[in-house]
Amino acid sequence: MSTNRRLWECVLAMLVIGTGVAGAQTKTKKTAAKPASAVVVPAESRACVTCHEQKTPGIVAQWHGSAHAKQGVACLECHGAAASDPGAFTHEGATIITVVTPNQCAACHGDIVAENSRSHHAAAASFIGSLDNVLGEVVEGRLAAVNGCWQCHGSTVAILKNPDGSIRTKPDGAPMLDPTTWPNTGIGRVNLDGSLGSCTACHSRHSFSKAMARQPEVCGKCHMGPDHPQAEIYAESKHGIAYRTQMSEMHLDSDRWIVGVDYTAAPTCSTCHMSATKDQRVTHDVGARISWTLRPVVSKKLEKWEAKREAMKGVCDSCHTPDFIDAFYKTYDATVDLWNTKFAVPATSVMTALREAGKISPTPFDDEIEWTYYRLWHHEGRRARMGASMQGPDYTQWHGFFEAAENFYMKFLPQAREAAKGDPKVLAAIEAVENDRPNLWKKGLSPEERQKIDEFYKERYGEH
């Protein structure tokens, strides 16, 4: 053990550590066996590396395999701070911060940080005021928000204070971070220095790899579940299938990664939303290529949507013809319109009538129909739209429109009638919906249509 350590110090003193030596320490680790390029540890970070090699070998091993290590970007390039920086403390003779923020990265990746900062990702922690927040913080309880919402959207990192307002510190002088706010790698984390976001949400430390971020699993931590099942939709789609079955042809760790040039097997989330095409560079603004927002009750086209759509079409272009792509968008637009006009607008008009007549209280979630309505747009309606946007037929149909229809006709409208308690204005609103053309089927199918159904089952399954 101590011989091993002396050997290490010796090697470090030589300044240059070949990755072959790192490999000797972690012989079984395949990841350490990168090409024979040398890792140069800058003098200021040598002590950090030597000691943390012992104390937190995982961190140093991840860093060793990274592009940063090869370029001499070491511990202090990211953790080094001025004494006046929020959260800064003295550690083994250096002034450092623990929670590295995009401001540190900006010294070398300024354009990327600027792009990320203006994206919806960076703003993701500002959801106070949303119904979701009332649900998490109040209806469910604060720790549900801490361990749920904040882990995806981001916390507001905070330092614990003493009753007299001074900063609470650990024995070594480091400030104590509020444990409900850190560890946290939520996408829109509000950092101590006021910057927004957490680059490690997609580039796990300390490998900070772009190959990792190109994989759909990275996005899937957050983009999944009943209200935004993009990971599941992708897995079901032809694109996800092509990705899984041809992963070895994806060249994920290629330095340059242009769709149609460096790989053609399949698109990943990153391909369509972030990565380069032959005419577009990588973008860290994930909204740059989408034309609709599928999150609100009623979907709307975004500002400058035409240009954003053209950018996305430029991705499809490497694998599909213009007619194919236009046909997809035509049907997708019509499907979003179907959701808007058949379910979202009518259900909202009924809710408005109920609220105006004082039949539901201003407090969210204390009336049953509020849960029904929330589930209709926030879960079922989103799934229907999102499934259509990324070719997941089961999410469009069975998890989407089917559940929306069952809810709308069998729960929402009957509950609205009950809540109306005979109020003529509310009843008029409900009847306007029921008498609208898309809902007339409830008044009964024609004898011919019923006969068609009978014949179908007779032919398939025989007489009963």
Residues numbered 90 to 119 that lie near ligand HEC (CB under 6 A) are 91-92, 94, 96, 98-100, 102, 104-105, 107-109, 112-113, 116
Judged by CB under 6 A, does residue 40 bind ligand HEC? no
Note whether 204 binds ligand HEC by CB under 6 A: no
- Identified binder of ligand HEC from the candidate list 24, 43, 67, 261, rule CB under 6 A: 67
Q: Enumerate residues 383-412 that contact ligand HEC by CB under 6 A.
A: 386, 389-391
Read off the tokens for 271. 């391909």
- Taking residues 319 to 348 in sequence order and writing x for each that binds ligand HEC by CB under 6 A, - otherwise, the string is xx----x--x--------------------
Cα gap 174→167, rounded to integer Å: 10
> Which residue in the shown chain puts its C-beta closest to ligand HEC?
287
Q: Smallest distance, Å, CB 346 to ligand HEC? A: 21
Q: Is 203 among the residues that bind ligand HEC (CB under 6 A)?
A: yes
The encoded tokens of residue 464 equal: 């009963």
What does the block give as tokens for 443? 């008044």
Nearest CA among 207, 174, 184 for reference residue 29: 207
Q: Are residues 134 and 108 in contact, defined by beta-carbon separation less than 8 angstroms?
A: no
Q: Which is nearer to ligand HEC, 318 or 439 (by Cβ)? A: 318
Q: Which of 20, 141, 179, 225 binds ligand HEC (CB under 6 A)?
A: 225
Q: Is 133 in the site for ligand HEC (CB under 6 A)?
A: yes
216 near ligand HEC (CB under 6 A): yes
Q: Among 159, 185, 156, 178, which Cα is nearest to 86's?
A: 159
Closest CB 178 distance from ligand HEC, rounded Å: 13
Burial code (b: 16+ CB inside 10 Å, e: under 16) for 68-84 equals bbbeebbbbbbbbbeee
Q: Is the peptide bond before 153 cis (omega within 30 degrees of 0)?
A: no
Question: Cis peptide leading into 447, omega within 30 of 0?
Answer: no
Q: Which among 23-31, 263-271, 342-350, 362-370 is the span making contact with ligand HEC, rule CB under 6 A?
A: 263-271
Residues, the chain: 464
Q: How far apart are CA 359 and CA 352, in angstroms?
A: 10
- When the beta carbons of 332 and 353 are compared against ligand HEC, the nearer one is 332
Site residue total, ligand HEC (CB under 6 A): 125
Query: In the bound complex, what is the minimum distance in angstroms from residue 63's beta carbon to ligand HEC?
Result: 4
What the block records as the tokens of 189 is 């984390």
Stretch that binds ligand HEC, among 29-37, 67-75, 353-361, 397-405 (CB under 6 A): 67-75
Which amino acid appears at position 151 of this protein?
Q
Rounded distance between C-alpha atoms, residue 439 and residue 444, angstroms = 10
Binding part of the chain for ligand HEC, among 147-155, 401-409, 426-434, 448-456 by CB under 6 A, reads 147-155
